[in-house]
Structures are given as C-alpha cells and as structure tokens.
Amino acid sequence: NAGVMQNPRHLVRRRGQEARLRCSPMKGHSHVYWYRQLPEEGLKFMVYLQKENIIDESGMPKERFSAEFPKEGPSILRIQQVVRGDSAAYFCASSPTSGPTYEQYFGPGTRLTVT
Amino acid sequence: AQSVTQPDIHITVSEGASLELRCNYSYGATPYLFWYVQSPGQGLQLLLKYFSGDTLVQGIKGFEAEFKRSQSSFNLRKPSVHWSDAAEYFCAVLGDKLIFGTGTRLQVFP
C-alpha cells in the first residue's frame, strides 16, 4: 500500500508565477490536509478537504491560495502570483476518516523556492 | 485556544545516553496528543499517540511518552539514544485541527 504521494518534491518559481502542488492520499483515504512549514518552524495547518468539499480553510491565506480535492485525481494546492515569503515546505496528510482517534499519514512534502 | 510548546529548540546527547524531550500543551478538554519525527528532507512519521487510558504510551523505535494532566505535559523519552535518532521531533495536540509545536532538533554525538 503506497503512502501519501506528493509531487513535485522540489519546485522553483519566480515571483509572480503560479505554483501547483499535488497530493495523492493513501488508498482508501478520503480526507486530505495541507500544512506549511516555514524554515525553523513547526507545521501550520492550512486546509482540510474531503472529496469535492472544503471542510476547514481557516489556515489558508485569504488571497492567492486555493485548494481542491476533486472526485477523481489528486488534491491540488494552488498558489497564484507567488512571493518570496511563500518559500516553504508544503506537506500533505491523509486519513481514512475524521474524528479524534484518526491518524494522519504525511507525505514527503514539496519544497517550494521562490526566486 | 489550543497550543503546544516545545521549550527546547536544540538538544545534543551522546549515543547511548537517555533522552527526554519536553512538550507542554494548552487545551480545554481531554487532549489527543502525538509525537512525530522528521528526518532531514523527509515527511513526518508518527512515533506515538495518546488518546485515553494508560498515561504511559509506548511507541515505535523504543520511544515512550508520559501524559501528565496536572502538568499539561507529554514528554517524550528514550532510555538509550542511537545515532539514527538524530532528527527533528514535533509534539502535536488535536482539537478541531492538529496543532504542532515548533520542534526540537536532536543531535547525537558518537
């Protein structure tokens, strides 16, 4: 059973370009979470999605960031018009269900560098 | 509001020595607590978790953690550290979302 897959692993964008980060959850998992890790910091929650639904986006910046988890295909985190401050590691996690006893399984992350 | 504090940013120990990484949480109800490990350039791996019951929790790789409600702590311990344990360790509490501490970087000297 493959784990959570993220691609690309490394992404370099110039200021003003768009970044698209992909996350394929573990087989059988329908809940996806995105986190951002700035240098020397812990992970910060961004958004929680189920298939075709955004459940909690309280951690998403109000502008330029969006996320989706379509019925078919991976979850996508999109950052429009990237700025230097968006440089970070972005982690995706998935779980089979929600609730207090679930475990989130993390992907290897996408490291975004904005030049 | 829920929060997690890891007071030690960086810890260095000798191989074979014992280890304790501190974690303090703030949460109004019964907390669900986790310890994750992150190796350089990698994602997070779950070491152990506490939901209820026995306050001493055993995890993978020889780690354990003890939940102390009176101290709002969930410290991670290992009796004898191996060089391969060098990594970043994150404590997390689950409320309506998973909240992480800022991490403790562990260095192990031979």
Confidence check: pLDDT of B1 > 70: yes
Counting residues of chain B whose pLDDT is more than 90, the rounded percentage is 78
Q: Which of A33, A42, A100 sits opposite B32 (nearest CB)?
A: A100
**What residue has token string 């309506």?**
B96
Q: Where residue B52 falls among pLDDT bands split at 50, 70, 90?
A: confident
Model confidence pLDDT, tens digit, residues A7-47: 999 999 999 999 999 999 999 899 999 999 988 788 999 99
Q: Give the span between the Cα atoms of A1 and A7, in whole angstroms.
A: 18
Instruction: Give the model's pLDDT for residue B40.
Output: 84
Does the beta carbon of B17 lie under 8 angstroms from any beta carbon of chain A?
no
pLDDT at A102: 74
Q: Binning pLDDT at 50, 70 and 90, where does residue B78 land?
A: very high
Q: How far apart are CA B25 and CA B32, in angstroms?
A: 10
Q: What is the largest CA-CA distance in chain B?
A: 42
Of B17-21, B25-29, B90-94, which gets the smallest average pLDDT?
B25-29
Q: Who among A41, A48, A91 is closest to B43 (CB)? A: A91
Rg over alpha carbons for chain A, rounded to the nearest Å, is 13
For residue B46, the chain A residue with the least C-alpha distance is A105
* CB-CB under 8 Å, A33 with B43: no
Q: Which residues contact B34 (CB under 8 A, 6 or more apart)?
A: B46, B47, B48, B49, B50, B91, B92, B93, B94, B98
Mean pLDDT for chain B? 93
Q: What angle do CA B21, B61, B41 make, to 5 degrees?
A: 75
Is the pLDDT score of A1 beyond 80?
A: no
Kindly give the pairing relationship between strand B3-5 and strand A65-68. Answer: unpaired
A97, A104, A110, A111: best to mutate for the B interface, most B CBs within 10 A: A104
A43-98 pLDDT per residue, tens: 999 999 999 999 999 999 999 999 999 999 999 999 999 999 999 999 999 998 76
Amino acid A101: pLDDT = 59
CA B1, CA B45: separation in Å to the nearest integer?
26
pLDDT at B97: 85
pLDDT band at B36 (very low <50, low <70, confident <90, very high): very high
- Give the pLDDT confidence score for residue A100 in this predicted structure: 54
List own/partner pairs for A71-76 with CB under 8 A and 24 or more apart.
A74/A5, A74/A22, A74/A23, A74/A24, A75/A22, A75/A23, A75/A24, A75/A25, A75/A32, A75/A34, A75/A49, A76/A20, A76/A21, A76/A22, A76/A23
